[in-house]
Amino acid sequence: MYSTRLQVICDPEFSEILMAEVAEAGFDTFIETEKGFEAYVEGGQFDQPSLDLIQDKYKHVNPLLFFQDRIEKKNWNEEWEKNVEPIIVDDKCLIRAAFHKIEKKYLYEIIITPKMSFGTGHHQTTHLMISQQMKMDHLNKRVMDAGCGTAILSIMASKLGANKVEAFDIDEWSVENGQENATNNNCANIHIQLGKINEVKLTGKFDIILANINKNILLAEMKAYASFLTSGGQLLLSGFYVQDIEDLLREAAQYGLQEVVHADRESWATLLLQMK
């Protein structure tokens, strides 16, 4: 079996934006390089027309080069271990792999081994979500994690005192990996299901809903999020750019959701909403 490799040469500051775009075209594993990044997908299971549109969209960016080829399937965990570094959020939360040796103690520590799942803390949106979560009251709250990936946000919610966390993702890898990560972080109150919000079994209301996905899905599922929120409940969103905030606010207002605060990091944004 082979993997399709996409080698992208670009300014490192532009890598995060491009990785998110390429992920939407079907690539699911990323390794940063000195000149940009490499993206991989099993076989040829990606959307070539979408990839062509991305290249056309950013053709004005310089430097920017795309190279595509096929290689033998790799051990992604081994490749990841060669490149990953610990992440520290607001000098309070350490996100690391099990093999990292850290001497300094932090208020919160999350151990993540992502395998094929998204959400290690390295992407700006995950960093933004973790940062905002640490400012929110999770104590004894019922939390939903929509599109949980590695379950990093679920784990953060549990460590912040959440009573119960219901998570789900459309990717089987994420469900398996998310549960492993929850177990490795001693978070027994996290339950992960396979499917979309309208497919999984969810009962009752939630005090907090976390959704780090992308703009289009957030817009499409805004009504569903609102329907699951308690009065005064909070919806924390990311996975979009600063210029997308107004579109999300317009959609949210239709369902009684109002802005509490927003933040940004290198063009990416997070938005905290509250139900009236």
72 shares a domain with 169: no
Same domain flag for 73 and 147: no
Whether 97 is covered by a domain: the verdict is: no
The residue that leads in pLDDT, 165 or 100, is: 165
- For residue 68, what are the domain limits? 2-80
Asked if residue 112 has pLDDT above 90, the reply is: no
In this structure, what CATH number is given to the domain that contains residue 10?
3.30.70
- Looking only at the bridges linking them, the beta strands covering 87-89 and 29-33 are unpaired
pLDDT of residue 133: 98
What is the structure's pLDDT at 117? Answer: 45
How would you classify the pairing of strands 229-241 and 257-265? unpaired
The pLDDT tens digits of the residues spanning 210-226 come to 999 888 889 999 999 99
Helix intervals (H) in 119-235? 124-133, 152-159, 172-184, 215-228
Residue 62 CB-half CA count within 13 A: 1
Assigned domain for 90 exists: no
Q: Which pLDDT tens digit goes with each residue over 18-36? A: 888 898 899 877 877 878 8
Same domain (yes/no): 168, 52: no
Residue 92: predicted pLDDT: 96
Contact (Cβ atoms closer than 8 angstroms) between residue 190 and residue 165: yes
Same domain, 148 and 226: yes
User: In terms of pTM, does the model score above 0.85?
Assistant: no
- Residue 129 maps to which CATH number? 3.40.50.150
- Do residues 74 and 167 both lie within one domain? no
